Amino acid sequence: MSTTATELQTEVQRRRTFAIISHPDAGKTTLTEKLLLYGGAIRLAGTVKARKAAKHAVSDWMEIEKQRGISVTSSVLQFDYDGYRVNILDTPGHQDFSEDTYRTLMATDSAVMVIDVAKGVEDQTKKLFHVCRQRGIPIFTFVNKLDRHGKSPFELMEEIENVLGIRAYPMNWPVGVDGNYKGVYNRRLAQIELFESGGAHGQWVMPSTIGSAEDPAFAELLGTDVHNQLIEDIELLDMAGDQFDIEKVLKGELTPMFFGSALTNFGVRPFLEEFLQLAPAPLARRSVDGLVAPDDEGFTAFVFKIQANMNPTHRDRIAFIRICSGKFARGMSVKHVPSGKSVKLAQPQQFMAQERVIIDEAYPGDVIGLFDPGVFGIGDTLCVEGKNFQFEDFPVFPPEHFARVQPKDTMKRKQFVKGMTQLTQEGAVQVFRQPEIGVESFVVGAVGVLQMEVLEYRLKQEYGVDILMQHLPFSVARWLDGYDPGKPVKGLDSGMVIRDGKERPVALFRNEWSVRWAVEQNPQIRFLTVPER
Q: Pick out residues in 164-203 that bind ligand GDP (CB under 6 A).
A: none
Q: Does 151 sit near ligand GDP (CB under 6 A)?
A: no
Q: Least separation, in Å, of the C-beta of 315 and ligand GDP?
A: 30
Q: Does 494 sit near ligand GDP (CB under 6 A)?
A: no
**Which one, 116 or 426, has the nearer CB to ligand GDP?**
116
Question: How many residues comprise the chain?
Answer: 533
Window contacting ligand GDP (CB under 6 A); options: 78-86, 217-225, 255-263, 328-336: 255-263
Q: Is 233 annotated as a binding residue?
A: no
CB 280 within 8 A of CB 139: no
List 8, 19, 21, 26, residue binding ligand GDP (CB under 6 A): 26
List 16, 17, 22, 467, residue binding ligand GDP (CB under 6 A): 22
List 148, 356, 418, 526, residue binding ligand GDP (CB under 6 A): 148
Window contacting ligand GDP (CB under 6 A); options: 25-33, 304-312, 320-328, 420-428: 25-33
**Which one, 191 or 261, has the nearer CB to ligand GDP?**
261
Q: Least separation, in Å, of the C-beta of 149 and ligand GDP?
A: 10
Q: Does 144 sit near ligand GDP (CB under 6 A)?
A: yes
Report CA torsion sign: 42, 45, 46, 51.
positive
**Which one, 25 or 158, has the nearer CB to ligand GDP?**
25
Per-residue binding letters, 83-112, with ligand GDP (x by CB under 6 A): -----------x------------------
List 16, 19, 21, 28, residue binding ligand GDP (CB under 6 A): 28
Total residues interacting with ligand GDP, rule: CB under 6 A = 16
d(CA 195, CA 210): 9
Q: Is 146 annotated as a binding residue?
A: yes
- 252 Cβ contact partners less than 8 Å away, ≥ 6 residues apart: 132, 133, 135, 136, 137, 138, 139, 166
d(CA 17, CA 503): 35
Max intra-chain CA distance, the chain = 83
List 19, 21, 27, 302, residue binding ligand GDP (CB under 6 A): 27
d(CA 114, CA 22): 5
CB 118 within 8 A of CB 150: yes
Q: Does 265 sit near ligand GDP (CB under 6 A)?
A: no
| Closest C-alpha among 256, 259, 270 to residue 173 | 259
Q: Does 25 sit near ligand GDP (CB under 6 A)?
A: yes
| Closest C-alpha among 118, 241, 121 to residue 187 | 241
CB 419 within 8 A of CB 458: yes
| Closest C-alpha among 439, 448, 450 to residue 414 | 439
**DSSP string spanning 104-157?**
HHHT-SEEEEEEETTTBS-HHHHHHHHHHHHHT--EEEEEE-TTS----HHHHH
Q: Indicate the annotated binding residues.
A: 22-29, 90-94, 144-147
> Which residues are at the interface with ligand GDP (CB under 6 A)?
22, 24-30, 94, 144-145, 147-148, 261-263
Q: Indicate the annotated binding residues for GTP.
A: 22-29, 90-94, 144-147
